[in-house]
Each structure stands twice: as C-alpha cells, then as structure tokens.
Structure 1
Amino acid sequence: MSWHLGRLAGFDTETTGVDVENDRIVTSCIVEVGDNTQPITANWLINPGVDIPEAATAVHGITTEKAKSDGQDAAEGIAELVAGLTQVVLSGTPLVIMNAPFDLTVLDREARRYGLETLTDTVGGDLRVVDPRVLDKRVDPYRRGKRTLTDLCAHYRVKLDGAHSADADAIAACRVAWRIASQYGEIGNAFLEELHDQQEDWAAAQAASFQAHLRRKGEADAVIDGSWPLIPVQRGGESS
C-alpha cells in the first residue's frame, strides 16, 4: 500500500520567533490521521522560560502571561514531545512536517538546552519525514508566488482551520502531503525510505537554486542552508 494511504502523523510547533538556534517552543502538536480511523491529537502549551515577543504573539495568540500561568515546564514538555515523536517514528508512521528543518531543528536545540536526548539520537536512521514544502517545489518548481502552508492549502484545495495554531497546521500539512502524493505518482508510489532520502537531495538542490537566484539579483553574500530534515548542530556552538 502506498505510504499516503495509511496512517500519517503531523507535527508542528509555534515558537517565540524564527531563530532556530535560540528561540523556544510555545505550543506544539502531534496528530495522527488517516487509514480510516479517528484522529488522535496531542497538544502542548509550554512556558518557554523567556518573554514571548509581541510579534510572535500576534502570530499564534499566546502571550507571556498565558504561557506562564497555563504552560507546562519547558524541560518536561520537550521531553514529552521527543518521546511522542519517537513513538511515532519507531511505529513506522510517516512524520509529516511542513518546512521540517525549522520545527525539527528548534526541537533539537530545545532538547540539547535541557540536557535531553534528541529525537535523532533516539531514533537514528529510522527517521522518515515527509515535507510538503519540499515535495511541492519538486513537482511544481516554476509556479509563481509564495509557498507557505496557507498558500499550499489554497493551491491544493485543502481546508485550513485556524492557521498558525499548531494542531490546525499539523493536520493541514498531512492533507497537503496526501494531495501531492495522490496527484503525483513519483511521490505517492515511492517507498518511504527512498522518498526521505530523495527529499534530502531535493532540498539541497532547491536551496542551491535559490541561492544562485539571489546572487544573480546582486545579493552576493546570500547563503541558503539546504540541510534537511534538520540543521546539524555546530559543535562548540550549541544554543543556550
């Protein structure tokens, strides 16, 4: 059976900002959908231990006060997230993450911050990620416009309720991945292990192409990291 016709697990985070090395997770969701069974959703609200900037609150709606009063201890919440994702990965369920290098890198740095074993340390080579952003750029590389999750939902006619809430975004990412796999045999008929490895190559090529585009526009110093599905930690420069 094609991978997209079985169970899928979506993962998403909302954070204090967009710096994967230093920003913190505020909310997160793991949702399992598909295979003609009821969805199973686990949500986290975490006290990040730092103030949440107003710009971030404007995106996801969580204030510093809300996180402090209702949020879970950060180390405890991050440990639960890693454990939940480990269970998903080791069960063989595809892990669907829109722009995986952001969410997985933030989680990786959070785990290191609290002295926890990281997801990749735990699951090793069993990690299988499906990234709708990478897939979309592969199957439709010349389409104009942005490729945010909201844009992909509109393009693939996927319902998105409550954009920028972790649970809504996680479910929508699964739906977009399903649509792409259903429409493009190259994606839907691939073995999951093969597809994971291909996305690593595609993401690197996509980043190189974008970097070349920026440099042609005069941005000579542009450096686009094509690491996928997460950015490796720089030894000696781990986040604080």
Structure 2
Amino acid sequence: MPSLPVLASPGAAGDLPSAWWKALGVFDLETTGIDVETARIVTAHVGLIDATGETVAHGEWLADPGVEIPEQASAVHGVTTERARAEGRPAAEVVAEIVAAVRAVFARGVPLVVYNAPYDLTLLDREARRHGIEPLGEVGEIGCVVDPLVIDKAVDRFRKGKRTLEAAAGVYGVVLDDAHDAGADAVAAGRVAQAMAQRYPEQLDVPTTALHDLQVGWCSTQAASFQEYKRRKDPTFTTSGEWPHRSLPVS
C-alpha cells in the first residue's frame, strides 16, 4: 500500500479549541461518477488523525467496481477500468470493510470529517444496499460528522471563488499535492477542519452534538439559497438540503 503524501500540519495541538478536535476520523471516496444513485466506489480511505493532523491509523481500498470506469472519472483519480480489474478486490468485500471501518470510528465516539458529506455517505449507503450489506443506521448510529464544505460556507459566507477541497486547502494553509487521491483528500479535509476550528473558535468551539446540529441547519439554508438562485433561470430546478446523507429516492 503506497504511503500517504506529505501534507502540512494545521498547527500546534495547543492552538485547537475543544479537546475533541484533537482526534478526528477522516473519510473519502473516489468513484465512477457524480450521481450517488448510480456511481460505484473505486478507492477509499478511512483513517484517524491526531492533534497535529498526522495520520495515526488508516485503511485504504481499491475496488473492482464491476462496471466500466468512465474516462472522465479515471482522468480525475487516475484509476482505469483495466487497473481496477487487475488490482482491485471484489466490490462487495470492499464496501463491507469500508462500512465496518466508518462504523468503528463512530463507535469510538470520534467525529468523522467528510468533505461534502452527503455525497460520500449517501454513495456508501447505496453501495451497501446494492451488495446486500447492512448500511450505516440513521442518526442514532451515525455520530458527529464534520463537513468542512458546509462549515466553510457558514463561517466565511461572502468569500468569492471556488469551494472545492483544493481551494479550501489553500485558504486554510493546508498543502494538498495529490488531490483526488482518497488518502490525500481525506487527510487534507481533516486538517482543513482543524484549521477552521483554530480560525473560528467562537463558532466551532462547541460540543460535537451541537456542531452536528448546526451543520444540519447550515446545509438546509445553503441548499435553499442555491435552489432559489438556480430557479431564476430554471424554475424546475431542485436540490436537497439533507445532511449528512440523503434519503432513498421515492420510487
């Protein structure tokens, strides 16, 4: 398994607010597409970082998704259909292990950082159901999720420019040299979250349950604002404000 790229630490441990920020789970998926209902997992990373942003434990996976990986997706994360078939493990095995790893993070009471959580957590849910694996439960089993994308939009509402992980890493002083590698992205997202906690303690130095609930409200408000904006050109446009994962579509 290749080592993780070297990323800049967010700061000294003493700079962080509440103690829970000093141990975070991190999670990221690279997939075959952007539609959570149809995309398949290609690579994944679930890990733990300490107060300095260094990885203390992690698992990484490469799956054979069982479908062709579109060229556009391969161009992003670098994994081709041929490589996935040759080196990847069966999707059902990989999905089961990822679900178990995420479940273990929550079972330890550690917050899980997921950049754009509704994408990764919803896609993981759909993959679990596709392969007959018990998905993560509702809020009772899913612990505190920390979504730097939602938080960034809330604490720095009027900043211009992109809100990608790469952009956020630049804003918060985290070096990300291997974007769209699941391990690099997961760890960078965790470090961005810690840097946010340092910069905005008045908003983010709260109990994990309170921060989780704040993000539910922030995401709902952000989605409503985006939908209103898009409907100026397309009155039929809709988007979901559910967070941290999306409900199954109504059949």
TM class by shorter-chain length? over 0.9
Return closer, same or farther for 1:124/1:19 CA change in 2, 3 Å cut-off.
same
Query: Are 1:145 and 2:157 matched, yes or no?
Result: no
Residue ranges of structure 2 left out of the alignment (5+ in a row): 1-16
Give 1:1-240 correspondences, 5 Å limit. Answer: 2-35=18-51, 39-120=56-137, 124-216=140-232, 218-234=233-249, 237=251
Verify the 8 A CA contact 2:146 2:193 in the aligned structure 1.
Answer: yes
Deviation >4 Å, runs of 4+:
none
* TM-score normalised over the length of structure 1: 0.93
Verify the 8 A CA contact 1:4 1:188 in the aligned structure 2.
Answer: no
Return closer, same or farther for 1:43/1:125 CA change in 2, 3 Å cut-off.
closer
Verify the 8 A CA contact 1:3 1:191 in the aligned structure 2.
Answer: no
Return closer, same or farther for 1:111/1:134 CA change in 2, 3 Å cut-off.
same
Return closer, same or farther for 1:4/1:173 CA change in 2, 3 Å cut-off.
farther
Return closer, same or farther for 1:95/1:47 CA change in 2, 3 Å cut-off.
same
- The C-alpha deviation readout for 1:184-211, integer Å capped at 9, x for no partner, is 1244311001111110111000000111
Residue ranges of structure 1 left out of the alignment (5+ in a row): none
Please identify, of 123-132 and 178-187, the stretch whose mean Cα deviation from structure 2 is larger.
123-132
Distance 1:133 1:19 in 2: 18
- The C-alpha deviation readout for 1:208-239, integer Å capped at 9, x for no partner, is 011112223x222221211110111135x4xx
What secondary structure does 1:170 align onto?
helix
Letter in 2 for 1:75: A
Cα deviation, residue 93, structure 1: 0.7
Q: Which has the higher helix share?
A: 1
Distance 1:11 1:213 in 2: 31
- The C-alpha deviation readout for 1:55-111, integer Å capped at 9, x for no partner, is 000000001011011101111110000100111001011100000000001100000
Verify the 8 A CA contact 1:4 1:178 in the aligned structure 2.
Answer: no
Return closer, same or farther for 1:115/1:161 CA change in 2, 3 Å cut-off.
same
What secondary structure does 1:230 align onto?
coil
Distance 2:141 2:83 in 1: 38
Verify the 8 A CA contact 1:16 1:24 in the aligned structure 2.
Answer: yes
What is the CA RMSD across the aligned residues, in angstroms? 1.6
Please identify, of 9-18 and 207-216, the stretch whose mean Cα deviation from structure 2 is larger.
207-216
Distance 1:222 1:3 in 2: 42
Letter in 1 for 2:33: G
Distance 2:172 2:190 in 1: 12
Letter in 1 for 2:196: I
Cα deviation, residue 31, structure 1: 1.7
Cα deviation, residue 35, structure 1: 3.6
